[in-house]
Amino acid sequence: MTKAAAEPLPDLWDDANVAGLDEPGLLLYRSNLLGSDLRITNFGGGNTSAKLAMTDPLTKKPVTVLWVKGSGGDLGSMRRDGFATLYLDKLESLKGLYRGIAHEDEMVTLFNHCTFDLNPRATSIDTALHGFVPHVHVDHVHADAVIAIAACSNAEQLTREVFGGALGFLPWQRPGFDLGLKLGDMASRHPEYVGVVLGGHGLFTWGETSKAAYQTTLRIIQQAADWLAANEKQPAFGGARVEPAPREKRRAVAAVLMPLIRGKISRDERKVGHFTDAPAVLEFVNSHALETLAPLGTSCPDHFLRTKIRPLVIPYDPDRDNVDAVADSLEALLAAYRDDYSAYYQRCKRPNSPDMRDPNAVIYLVPGIGMLSFAKDGRQDRLRHRWCRRHWRRDGVAAIGRRRLRRARRHRPGSARPADRSDRAEIQPRQRGRHQARRDR
């Protein structure tokens, strides 16, 4: 049987568009291109860098400066002032001050002492990962196809199988100074590598020019997508357990449940909601695997920041149309979810953890009907909603491997990356490329 090929990622680099751009301009151009397609990286995720020859403003001597996307913002819409700039030799000198992984967070403060040209842009936690890779242009993205591989328990073996010897592999570790050292060391010892897969996280790739880095990033993601398409197991999620309700019925049930849930979870803050019965959502909520996969939560730390660790499955049965019984049980269901979330927070919190967020579920899955999502405002809700749809699309193809089932106890609120926390506060409407617009319809 011939398998469907993955949809190609178009190479959008246009030499005519970049004529006359300086190196930081080329870096920005590349960053915006990468961020314009959500298959390449998620909103607010990923970062890019270049190690560029500049003139020191005081000594007028040539220096090498690391331009690296700073904390917050989004690759697709960032501007030149979104880059932090650091003297590369000063950043290297921090290796001599490093006291070990228990103290790696103190290194972030020291990045400020490496600032070039008084640039006020805050550095992100990924700065060391870019700075210590001995290649000029470095991309880090959270590509769907690569994460589908990186989130499998046999990710290292799959990385070898899919990419041959072109990419290295590092197991999951919270991004920071220590992971930067490991990545730099691996890249130095393996000049044949064009990048490294970070387990449970994403992809690092590099090149000697901006255009080469961009095209390598695209090529590697395409290779992953093609391999997944060729090895996809059907049906996804164990096949359908229930048939979707007719379209009118789906809307009618959603119209009953939405205001009920919204009323019960809006006591402390106002909420807006969103309903979808898109095919990818129905495929998951109607599947045999819903009951086992949903409580296990998301497969990638980037997701649970937006969606909470797990969705709440609403026990609606389309065959019995038990919407009244569901409505009666909502209060208890919501309370049980809040208790579970509070217990998770107490279990995992560290002294520097942020306060507990609203403990209500934000994603509600209704068999036969679709998905409801809620957030403080419509912008966040749209993002949340889009994240879930992408997650399932990805995990649908990830059924090829033994999916790593991250347990809630392994997610620590204090381990959320500072870059992600700040990203949450800076969610902006995305400049959507034509491919994304098509995919979201």
Which CB, 204 or 341, lies closer to Zn ion?
Answer: 204
Stretch 75-114 residues interacting with Zn ion (CB under 5 A): none
Which CB, 138 or 265, lies closer to Zn ion?
Answer: 138
Which CB, 200 or 359, lies closer to Zn ion?
Answer: 200
Q: Residue 69 belongs to what H/E stretch? A: strand 62-69
Which CB, 168 or 202, lies closer to Zn ion?
Answer: 202
Stretch that binds Zn ion, among 17-25, 164-172, 194-202, 429-437 (CB under 5 A): 194-202
The pattern of x and - marking residues 197 through 226 that bind Zn ion according to CB under 5 A reads -----x------------------------
Question: C-beta of 149: minimal distance to Zn ion in Å?
Answer: 15
Residue with tokens 């007719």: 246
Nearest residue (beta carbon) to Zn ion:
202
**Terminal Cα-to-Cα distance of the chain (whole angstroms):** 30
Q: What whole-number distance in Å separates Cα of residue 295 and Cα of residue 357?
A: 19
Question: C-beta of 417: minimal distance to Zn ion in Å?
Answer: 8
The three-class DSSP label of residue 101 is helix
Which CB, 184 or 359, lies closer to Zn ion?
Answer: 184
Question: C-beta of 41: minimal distance to Zn ion in Å?
Answer: 8
**Of 275, 296, 289, 267, nearest to 363 (Cα)?**
275
Q: What whole-number distance in Å separates Cα of residue 162 and Cα of residue 228?
A: 9
Q: What angle do CA 98, 102, 105 make, to 5 degrees?
A: 65
Question: C-beta of 47: minimal distance to Zn ion in Å?
Answer: 7
Which CB, 202 or 311, lies closer to Zn ion?
Answer: 202
The three-class DSSP label of residue 167 is strand
Which CB, 155 or 371, lies closer to Zn ion?
Answer: 155
The three-class DSSP label of residue 129 is helix
Cis check for the bond before 295: say yes or no (omega within 30 of 0): no
**Of 330, 319, 390, 326, nearest to 361 (Cα)?**
330
β-sheet bridge partners, residue 55: 62
Phi and psi torsions of 285, nearest 5°: -70, -20
Count of positions (residues) in the chain: 441
Question: C-beta of 386: minimal distance to Zn ion in Å?
Answer: 18
Which CB, 199 or 202, lies closer to Zn ion?
Answer: 202
- Cβ-count burial 126-136 (b if 16+ within 10 Å, e if not): bbbbbbbbebb
DSSP 204-266: EEEESSHHHHHHHHHHHHHHHHHHHHHH--SSGGGSBSSPPPPHHHHHHHHHHHHHHHHHHH-
β-sheet bridge partners, residue 168: 196
Question: C-beta of 45: minimal distance to Zn ion in Å?
Answer: 6
Cα distances (Å, whole numbers) of residue 344 to 263, 303, 337, 408, 409: 24, 17, 11, 7, 7
β-sheet bridge partners, residue 297: none
- Helices 323-348 and 247-265: crossing angle, nearest 10°? 50
Question: C-beta of 68: minimal distance to Zn ion in Å?
Answer: 13
Which CB, 273 or 301, lies closer to Zn ion?
Answer: 301
Question: C-beta of 308: minimal distance to Zn ion in Å?
Answer: 19
Which CB, 74 or 277, lies closer to Zn ion?
Answer: 74
Question: C-beta of 366: minimal distance to Zn ion in Å?
Answer: 32
Number of residues that bind Zn ion (CB under 5 A): 1
Question: C-beta of 71: minimal distance to Zn ion in Å?
Answer: 12
**Of 140, 11, 18, nearest to 69 (Cα)?**
140
Question: C-beta of 176: minimal distance to Zn ion in Å?
Answer: 11
The three-class DSSP label of residue 77 is coil
Stretch that binds Zn ion, among 101-109, 195-203, 231-239, 384-392 (CB under 5 A): 195-203
- Helices 23-35 and 210-231: crossing angle, nearest 10°? 20
Which CB, 159 or 373, lies closer to Zn ion?
Answer: 159
Residues near Zn ion (CB under 5 A) = 202
